[in-house]
Amino acid sequence: MADPGEWLRRLDRRAELRRQAGLTRTLRSHGPQPDDVVDLAGNDYLGLARHPAVIAAAEKALERYGLGATGSRLVRGSTDEHAALETELATLLRQPAALVFSSGYLANLGAIRAAARPRGVVLIDAHAHASLHDGCALAGVRTETVPHADPTALRRRLAERAGAPALVVTESVFSVDGDLAPLREIHAACRDFGAVLLVDDAHALGVLGDRGAGAVVAAGLAGEPDVVVTATLSKTLGAAGGIVAGPQPLIAHLVDTGRTFVYDTALPPAVAAGALAALELAMDADSLRAILRERARAAFRALRDAGLDPGEPAAGIVSVTAPSADAALAWASACRERGVAVGCFRPPSTPDPRSRLRLTINAGIAASDFGRAVTDVIAAAP
């Protein structure tokens, strides 16, 4: 008789292999961050997640609409809050239109499927986020990985593929190493070969560009008919949800056919309201953006001067190499013991076999806490 538990033993064997490679992941629950823990792990770049105006806006919408959206945007889930958020985001991003999804992950899945052509090719940067890779897989189009942040290599690939409609997919600020894609050069290559460019601006929205409009605006590419922008609302805006922004026909196509839009329960209205309040604060937060930049540079310099190997930050991410996956885990946990929460990135969350600690800079924490936290990360290094 067949063994009904065989598949579970197979999963156990795979878990053992992960354990041996130092790749087990642990869910660590925490309450509201205790005062003595400095958070350099979360993505709340400007410290807006707990801003009183954000909480008040979310509370008001919570009272009005209840907890969940109760249906997809098309069925029951589209509220004034969603519409206002879309209008404000499209204006800030200087795009003709924008559409809110219930996560950045789902926005990426929807955008790639809509922008990729069935008999075309997707060229995706080797360091792109998992949601972008998954978007390519779900789109069911031929996908090729291109060398990281390398417009010359991209141009070569586009030339080889001339004739096939191409979609080029990249992040602006890369989530693991914090470097910035050369968007202007990438777009010039796309334009020369008639390709469409999709940029995930997740780590640049609220951080780079005029009033925090992101890297696409900063690169002067906003509103170009061959550029699509996606972003998550879960980082600088401290909320949840995602957006696709770009030409009107793309947004109309997504409303009609985007599976991760049509068949997904809408972002809760209270979250949309909170995100909108955070967006308004973020647009006026040039001084916080200056603090963020200065802190990122200071952390980079301190790590480098201590003989470590940090990547040069383009925005709010400072990533530093760990000797191994086990060493990264031990380093992160030594940081935690000293009262500093940091991100610990090991394969397969890294684009190569190198494990890293990731410090996400937060302009909202006290300067003395930030300085102490960086010193502690250095002191805890293996």
Which residues form the interface with ligand PLP (CB under 6 A)? 103-105, 108, 129, 131, 171, 175, 200, 202-203, 232, 234, 242
Separation in Å, CA 13 to CA 1, 16, 23, 353: 22, 5, 14, 22
Q: What angle do CA 48, 205, 251 make, to 5 degrees?
A: 120
State the minimum distance, in angstroms, from the CB of residue 193 to ligand PLP.
Answer: 25
Separation in Å, CA 97 to CA 54, 86, 243, 297: 24, 8, 10, 35
Give the separation between CA 316 and CA 57, rounded to whole angstroms. Answer: 26
Nearer to ligand PLP, 79 or 175 (CB): 175
Nearer to ligand PLP, 111 or 380 (CB): 111
State the minimum distance, in angstroms, from the CB of residue 37 to ligand PLP.
Answer: 21
Nearer to ligand PLP, 69 or 380 (CB): 69
State the minimum distance, in angstroms, from the CB of residue 235 to ligand PLP.
Answer: 7
Nearer to ligand PLP, 171 or 376 (CB): 171
Give the helix/strand (H/E) hosting 320: strand 317-321
Coil, strand or helix at 42: coil
Nearer to ligand PLP, 158 or 271 (CB): 271
C-beta of residue 178 within 8 angstroms of C-beta of residue 350: no
Nearer to ligand PLP, 171 or 264 (CB): 171
State the minimum distance, in angstroms, from the CB of residue 325 to ligand PLP.
Answer: 20
State the minimum distance, in angstroms, from the CB of residue 58 to ligand PLP.
Answer: 17
User: Which residue has the CB atom at the shortest distance from ligand PLP?
Assistant: 104
CB proximity list for 342: less than 8 A, separation 6 or greater: 40, 41, 332, 335, 336, 357, 358, 359, 377
Q: Are strands 242-246 and 340-345 parallel, antiparallel or unpaired?
A: unpaired
Q: Determine the residue type at 376.
A: D
State the minimum distance, in angstroms, from the CB of residue 128 to ligand PLP.
Answer: 8
Nearer to ligand PLP, 92 or 205 (CB): 205
Nearer to ligand PLP, 95 or 131 (CB): 131
DSSP 172-198: SB-TTT--B--HHHHHHHHHHHT-EEE
State the minimum distance, in angstroms, from the CB of residue 113 to ligand PLP.
Answer: 15
State the minimum distance, in angstroms, from the CB of residue 234 to ligand PLP.
Answer: 4
**Helix extents (H) in the chain:** 6-20, 52-65, 80-93, 104-115, 130-139, 151-160, 183-193, 215-218, 248-257, 259-262, 269-283, 286-305, 325-337, 367-379
